[in-house]
């Protein structure tokens, strides 16, 4: 019920209320919630992070996101948290941390970012990327 109220408050841009409801929802989870209620934990932690971010509680948002990233079972479950974490770090001017985070994700996906490249290599990469969208 608290999660539903928190989600409704977030959707209605009442971020402080959402933050409060989601905090109560999290406090009601059992100690083993990541194993016994994985999907619920994943959703609640992300919503709480979103609410914390919206009321400029960046430290807490980052803590919840990092816990989610640690406990998530697969990359698909991590991606929304990585995106929000990157946005939070960017807003704080931590561009090196954003770069490191994005580089790690790309590495997990089997991609890499070249350290240096020429203009012609850049053009080739762009053409290859555009072909993927055809």
Give percent of the chain above pLDDT 90.
Answer: 46
d(CA 59, CA 29): 22
* Nearest alpha carbon to residue 42 among 13, 14, 72, 1: 72
Q: Which run of H or E residues covers position 111?
A: none
For range 29-42, the mean pLDDT: 94
Q: What are the tens digits of pLDDT across the range 113-124?
A: 777 878 888 888
Q: Using alpha carbons only, what angle is made at residue 23 by residues 20 and 28, rounded to the nearest 5 degrees?
A: 130
Q: pTM of the entire structure?
A: 0.76
Q: What are the tens digits of pLDDT across the range 81-123?
A: 999 999 999 988 998 899 888 888 888 888 877 778 788 888 8
């Amino acid at each position: 019920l608290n999660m539903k109220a928190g989600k409704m408050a977030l959707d209605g841009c009442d971020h402080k209320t959402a933050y409060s409801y989601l905090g109560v929802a999290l406090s009601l989870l059992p100690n083993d919630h990541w194993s016994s209620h994985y999907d619920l934990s994943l959703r609640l932690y992300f919503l709480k992070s979103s609410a914390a971010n919206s009321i400029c509680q960046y430290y807490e948002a980052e803590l919840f996101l990092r816990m989610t990233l640690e406990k998530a079972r697969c990359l698909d479950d991590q991606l929304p948290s990585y995106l929000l974490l990157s946005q939070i770090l960017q807003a704080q001017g931590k561009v090196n941390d954003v770069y490191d985070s994005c580089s790690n994700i790309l590495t997990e996906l089997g991609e890499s970012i070249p350290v240096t490249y020429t203009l012609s290599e850049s053009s080739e990469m762009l053409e290859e990327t555009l072909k993927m969208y055809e």
